[in-house]
Chains A and B, each alone.
Chain A
Amino acid sequence: MSPQPQAAVGAPLSRVDGRLKVTGQAPYAAEHDVEGVVHAVIVDSGVGRGRITSIDTRDAEAQRDVLRVISHRNAPKLPYRDNPGSNNPPGRRLRVFQDDRVLFHGQPVAVVVATTLEAAQHGASLVKVAYDTERPSTDLHEAERDKPTTYARGDADAGLRSSAVRLDLTYQLARNHQNPMEPHATIARWDGDKLTVWDKTQWVVGTRDELVTVFDLPEESVRIISPFVGGAFGSGLRCWPHTVVAALAARETGRPVKLVLSRKQQYFGTGFRPSYEYRLRLGSDRRGRLTAMAHEMDAETSSYETFTETVMPAGQMLYSMPNVSQEYRTVPLDVNTPLWMRGPGFATASFVIESAMDELAHKLGIDPLELRRRNEPNEDESNGRPFSTRRLRECYTVGAREFGWHRRSSRPRSRREGDWLIGLGVAVGVYETQRNQAQARVRLDADGTALVETAASDMGPGTYTSQTQVAADALGLTMRTVTLRLGDSLYPPTPPHGGSQTMASVGSAVLDGCDKVRRQAIELAVEDRESPLYGADADDVVVRGGRLHVKGNPGRGETYRSLLTRNDRTHVEAGGSYAGASKPERHSFYAYNATFAEVAVDAKLGLVRVRRMLGVYDAGRIISPKLAESQAIGGIVGGIGTALLEHTVTDHRDGRIVNANLADYLVPVNADVPDVRAIYLDGEDRKADPLGVKGLGEVVHVGVAPAIANAVFNATGRRVRELPITAEALM
Chain B
Amino acid sequence: MFPFSYTRVSDTDEALDAGRRGGRYIAGGTTLVDLMRETVERPESLVDISGLPLREVRATEGGGLRIGALVRMAEAAAHPKVRTLYPVISESLELSASAQLRNMATIGGNIMQRTRCTYFRDVTADCNKREPGSGCAALEGHNRTHAILGTSDACVATHPSDVAVAFAALEATVHLLGPDGERRVPFADFLLRPGNTPHREQALRKGELVTAVEVPALPRPLKSGYLKVRDRQSYEFALTSAAVALHIRGGVIREAKVASGGVGTVPWKLPAVERHLVGERPSAALWTAAAEKAADGARPLKHNRFKTELLKRTVERQLRVVGGTK
The chain A residues found within 8 Å of chain B, CB to CB, are 46, 118, 121-122, 125, 419, 604-607, 609, 644-645, 649, 651, 653, 656, 658-659, 661, 663-664, 666, 668-672, 726-728, 731
Contact = CB atoms under 8 A, between A and B. Distances in A.
A122 B3 contact: yes
Contacts of B123: 125
A122 B1 contact: yes
B229 A658 contact: no
B309 A658 contact: no
Nearest to B304: A728
Interface in B77-122: 116, 118-119, 121-122
Interface in B128-148: 137, 140-142
Nearest to B140: A653
Contacts of B61: none
Contacts of A661: 118, 121
Contacts of A659: 118, 142
B115 to A, nearest CB: 12
B231 A651 contact: no
Among B2, B233, B237, B313, max chain A CB count under 10 A is at: B233
Given A46-B124, A606-B310, A656-B122, A419 B231 contact: no
Contacts of B309: 731
Contacts of B3: 122
A668 B232 contact: yes
B306 interface: yes
A651 B1 contact: no
Contacts of B7: none
B306 A727 contact: yes
Given A605-B313, A605-B317, A118 B1 contact: yes
B234 A669 contact: yes
Contacts of A645: 231-232
B2 A663 contact: no
A669 B231 CA distance: 11
B233 A672 contact: yes
B41 interface: no
Nearest to B233: A671
Contacts of B317: 419, 604-605
16 contacts: A419-B317, A606-B306, A606-B310, A645-B232, A653-B140, A656-B125, A658-B118, A658-B119, A659-B142, A661-B118, A663-B237, A666-B236, A671-B232, A672-B232, A727-B310, A731-B313
Interface of B: 1-3, 39, 116, 118-119, 121-125, 137, 140-142, 229, 231-237, 239, 305-306, 309-310, 313-314, 317
A345 B123 CA distance: 35
Given A121-B1, A605-B310, A666 B118 contact: no
A355 to B, nearest CB: 20
Nearest to B38: A264
B142 A651 contact: yes
B61 to A, nearest CB: 40
Contacts of B305: 728
Contacts of B313: 604-605, 731
A73 to B, nearest CB: 21
A649 B142 contact: yes
A134 to B, nearest CB: 16
Contact of B234 (A125, A605, A670): A670
Contacts of A728: 305-306, 310
A663 B236 CA distance: 7
A609 B231 CA distance: 10
A731 B306 contact: yes
A440 B7 CA distance: 58
Nearest to A605: B229
A651 B239 contact: no
Given A659-B142, A666-B236, A731-B309, 4 more contacts: A606-B229, A669-B233, A672-B233, A727-B310
A653 B141 contact: yes
B235 A669 contact: yes
Scoring B1, B3, B119, B231 by chain A CB atoms within 10 A of each residue's CB, the highest score goes to B231
Contacts of A670: 234
A645 B140 CA distance: 23
Nearest to B309: A731
Contact of B137 (A125, A651, A666, A671): A651
B40 to A, nearest CB: 11
B239 A658 contact: no
B319 to A, nearest CB: 13
Contacts of B232: 644-645, 666, 668-669, 671-672
A245 to B, nearest CB: 20
Nearest to A119: B3
A666 B231 contact: yes
Contacts of B122: 656, 658
Given A122-B2, A607-B229, A645-B232, A664 B39 contact: no
Nearest to B119: A658
Contacts of A671: 232-234
A687 to B, nearest CB: 43
A728 B305 CA distance: 9
Nearest to B306: A728
Given A125-B39, A604-B313, A605-B317, A664 B118 contact: yes
Closest 4 CB pairs of A and B: A728-B306, A671-B233, A46-B124, A671-B234
Contacts of A605: 229, 310, 313-314, 317
Contacts of B142: 649, 651, 658-659
A672 B232 CA distance: 7
Nearest to B234: A671
B116 A663 contact: yes
A391 B118 CA distance: 47
Contacts of A121: 1
Contacts of A419: 317
Nearest to A640: B232
B42 to A, nearest CB: 9
Contacts of A606: 229, 306, 310
Nearest to B143: A658
Contacts of A727: 229, 231, 239, 306, 310
A447 B294 CA distance: 78
A122 B229 CA distance: 38
A666 B145 CA distance: 13
A547 B233 CA distance: 55
A726 B231 contact: yes
Contact of A651 (B2, B141, B237): B141
B228 to A, nearest CB: 10
Nearest to A106: B124
A125 B235 CA distance: 29
Nearest to A650: B142
Nearest to A419: B317
Contacts of A663: 116, 236-237
A727 B307 CA distance: 10
A125 B1 CA distance: 8
A105 B305 CA distance: 28
Contacts of A656: 122, 124-125
B234 to A, nearest CB: 4
B301 to A, nearest CB: 13
